[in-house]
Amino acid sequence: MNDAASSTNSPYRRPDDRFADALRGFGPLGIFAVLVIAAGQIVAPLSALLVLAWVKLSRTPWREIGYARPSSWIGSLVVGMTVGVVFKLLMKTIVMPLLGANPINQAYHYLTGNPTAAVPLVFWLIITAGFGEETFFRGYMFERLGKLLGRSASARVVIVLGTSLIFGALHYLDQGLAGAQQAMITGSVFGTIFACTGRIWMPMFAHAAFDLTALAIIYWNLESAVAHFVFK
C-alpha cells in the first residue's frame, strides 16, 4: 500500500483532515455544502464567498476553481475587458435581434438617465457579475461537476452546456426569455474560455465589462439605436 492511500485510510488522521475530505466528497456533508453554496445565489456575492470558504476548509487547491496566477494581470484585464465590450455589442446588434428580442430591456429601462440608480449599480455589477457569478458558475460548478464527470473533452462540453442552461434559467426570473437566451449564450462563451484556459480571471473581467457595457447602453438610452445598427 502506498503512503498516500495509507494516509487517507488511516484511523489516526486528524478530525480536520476527515472534515476536509468530507467537504470535497459527495457524501452527506459534501452535498449539504453544495446546497448551501447554491442557495447563496440569492445574493451572488454570498455564494462566491461561500465558495472561497469551501476551498479553504476543504483544502482544495485554488487552481481547481481557476484561481491560478495569470501570465500577465494587465494582459488578462485588457483582453477580458475588450472581449466583454465587443461581445456585448455583437449580442445587442446581431444575435439578440436575430432571436427576435425586444431592443429595450424592460427590466432595467428605469436606469435610463437615472444616475442615482445607475452609479451604485456599476459597483454592484463588478462584484456580482465579475466576481460572484464567475466564481460560482465557472469556478465552483466546473470543479464539482468535473469531479463527477471527469476531465475528458466530452465531459467538459456537458459541463459547459449544463452550467449555461442553469445560468440562463436563473436570468429568466427577472429578464424573461430574452434575458435567459442571452445568459445561456454568454454562459457558454465564458464557460468555454474557462474550460480551455483553466483560469478564471479573464472571464471575470469579460463578464464585468459585458454587463457594464449593457448598463452604459441603457443609461444613455442607446438600446434601440444599437439593436437596429445592423438590422434596420
pLDDT at 219: 96
Task: Tell me how far CA of residue 15 lies from CA of 12, 51, 57, 64, 128, in angstroms.
Answer: 9, 21, 12, 23, 35
DSSP 50-118: HHHHHHHHHT--GGGGT----S-HHHHHHHHHHHHHHHHHHIIIIIHHHTT--SS-GGGGGGTT-HHHH
pLDDT digits (tens, 9 = 90+) for 76-109: 999 999 999 999 999 999 999 999 999 999 999 9
Q: What is the pLDDT of residue 12?
A: 53
Query: How do the residues of the chain divide into helix, strand and coil, expressed in percent and rounded to 5?
Result: 80, 0, 20
Kindly list the domain boundaries of the chain, sorted by start residue.
Answer: 1-60, 70-227
b or e along 112-150 (b: 16 or more beta carbons within 10 Å of the residue's beta carbon)? beeeeebeebeeebbebbbbbbbbbbbbbbbbbbbeeee
Extract the residue ranges of the chain whose pLDDT is less than 70.
1-13
Q: Say if pTM beats, i.e. exceeds, 0.85.
A: yes
Q: Are 188 and 142 in contact (CB under 8 A)?
A: no
Give residue 168's identity as a one-letter amino acid code. Answer: G
